[in-house]
Structure 1
Amino acid sequence: MNDLPIYISLTFFACVLTSFGFIYYAILTAAGPKSNIPLFAITFMAVWIFVTSLMTINGFFQDYEAMPPRLIMMVLILVIFIISLFLIPATRNFLNQMPITTLTYIHIIRVPVEIVLWWLFINGVVAESMTFEGVNFDILSGISAPFAGLFLVGLKSKSNIAAIIWNLLALGLLVNIVARAILATPYFYDPAVYEQPNIAVFYFPYVLLPLFVVPAVLFSHLVSLYQLIFLKEPEED
């Protein structure tokens, strides 16, 4: 992993920072200037990134024999945390205030993320099926995100039904690649199915793909769908 070209990690760092910025802006907009929620949120995200990065650098996730699988358990913790936000009335009301356009434009980062995955495949640390040359079509979500932001949830044009369909389709593409990524990890790797195990995500900085970028994208989809289905007019920028 140390001999990977530097431009790959730099591009991925840019994806992480962009995801961070989108989520923080959505929280800041929902909370308002006098609230302490944005400070709490940015601190929580920064600490999470720092701690999981430090754990990765120290080799915590590279013990593939540990049970339960360490990386998967960390992902499950994040998923449970995200779902729990919708179960608490106070946080649910806060999520309703987030600007849906911001939560839609964040998906643009899925384009450079897919390019990073392709570069990682070229360098032999992820399987071809994990890329757009294989069966990963998640790049379509990133390409279509600007159009969804402008014409489905934007100020000039809105269509709740179309926005719901777009979010569901994009969420389906996300679930597809996440499921394949899990099956390609050393935990479940089958050489008859995958030509190369998915080991990149067990190393820094790429561990932040399952432990930050993907959860940020999932969070954005879930909040958007909640607003589109349960609110008459989702919040705008």
Structure 2
Amino acid sequence: MIESLPDFISISFAIITIVTLYFFYDILKKPNSENIRNKSNLILFGLFIWLIIQGILTLKNIYNSDGNSIPPKILIFGIAPPIFTIMLLFITKNGRDFIDSLDLAKITYLNIVRIPVEIVLFYLSVYNLIPELMTFEGRNYDILAGISAPFIAYYGIKTQKLSRNGILIWNFICLGLLINIIINALLSTPSPFQKFAFEHPNIAILNFPFSWLPTFIVPIIIFGHLVSIRKLTKK
């Protein structure tokens, strides 16, 4: 925990993480495949264990103990495993069957969590725990994805008033917004790769509970966009 930070910010982010987990579980409970529905509790348990592991690693100061390690420890133990899992889902038949069973509208609604995440990032910037460039006052426009998500889900998917190509373009744009903030976050985190924000570096994600952002919430959002793009481009 970060001692100089008011408790309500840390608690708020922990709640956002749990809400994200619940929303994703809700997507798993109502897919087209009964087989996936039967495995939803097992997947939920796996994700819950993953959050606990990341919490322990962060509270044990594994991620912020050595800023000179190459590659950074959070990249090895926190970010690489979910990215590898996403890749595995897309290259295996069972994985693709799982992806194709998910509901496109619910996946789109999931992006709403990006709004409270951006608000928390703003408060972290106020307390100099991340650089301003990682907020909507800087180079981060990711909040626009969260604001527009319910409109895309309702008018684009539920009532089909938007074209398939329009929804696809929205997904590519929002994925680009996410990649933009990921790059800025990595290059402002204390490590041999840091390129800017040396006065107020991105130290929040190396501390609990904010390590859940790059190790859980961001991979879930990336997965959602990739699933949506696959479903929208399939014949």
TM-score by length of 2: 0.93
Could you tell me which runs of 5 or more consecutive residues in structure 2 were left unpaired when the two chains were aligned. none
Residue 200 in structure 1 maps to residue 225 in structure 2: no
Deviations 1:21-76 (A, max 9, x none): 12111111124389531121011100100011101100111122223211112312
Q: Where do 1:1-237 residues align within 5 Å?
A: 1-30=2-31, 31-32=33-34, 35-62=37-64, 63-73=66-76, 74-155=78-159, 157-187=161-191, 188-191=193-196, 195-231=199-235
- Aligned partners of 2:227 and 2:21: how far apart in 1? 16
Could you tell me which runs of 5 or more consecutive residues in structure 1 were left unpaired when the two chains were aligned. 232-237
- Aligned partners of 2:13 and 2:146: how far apart in 1? 15
**Contact 1:200 / 1:206 at 8 angstroms: preserved in 2?**
yes
- Aligned partners of 1:34 and 1:136: how far apart in 2? 35
- Specify whether residues 34 and 222 from structure 1 end up closer, same or farther in structure 2 by C-alpha distance, changes over 3 A only: closer
- Aligned partners of 1:23 and 1:13: how far apart in 2? 16
- Specify whether residues 106 and 196 from structure 1 end up closer, same or farther in structure 2 by C-alpha distance, changes over 3 A only: same
Identity %: 34
Deviations 1:97-152 (A, max 9, x none): 10111100010111110000000000010000000000100010011011111111
Q: Secondary structure in 2 aligned to 1:105?
A: helix
Q: Secondary structure in 1 aligned to 2:158?
A: coil
- One-letter amino acid of the structure 2 residue matched with residue 65 of structure 1: N
- One-letter amino acid of the structure 2 residue matched with residue 22 of structure 1: F
Number of residues paired by the alignment?
Answer: 230
- Aligned partners of 2:141 and 2:36: how far apart in 1? 41
- Aligned partners of 1:112 and 1:57: how far apart in 2? 23
Q: CA RMSD, aligned part only?
A: 1.6
- Specify whether residues 212 and 34 from structure 1 end up closer, same or farther in structure 2 by C-alpha distance, changes over 3 A only: closer
Q: Secondary structure in 2 aligned to 1:36?
A: helix
**Contact 1:19 / 1:106 at 8 angstroms: preserved in 2?**
yes
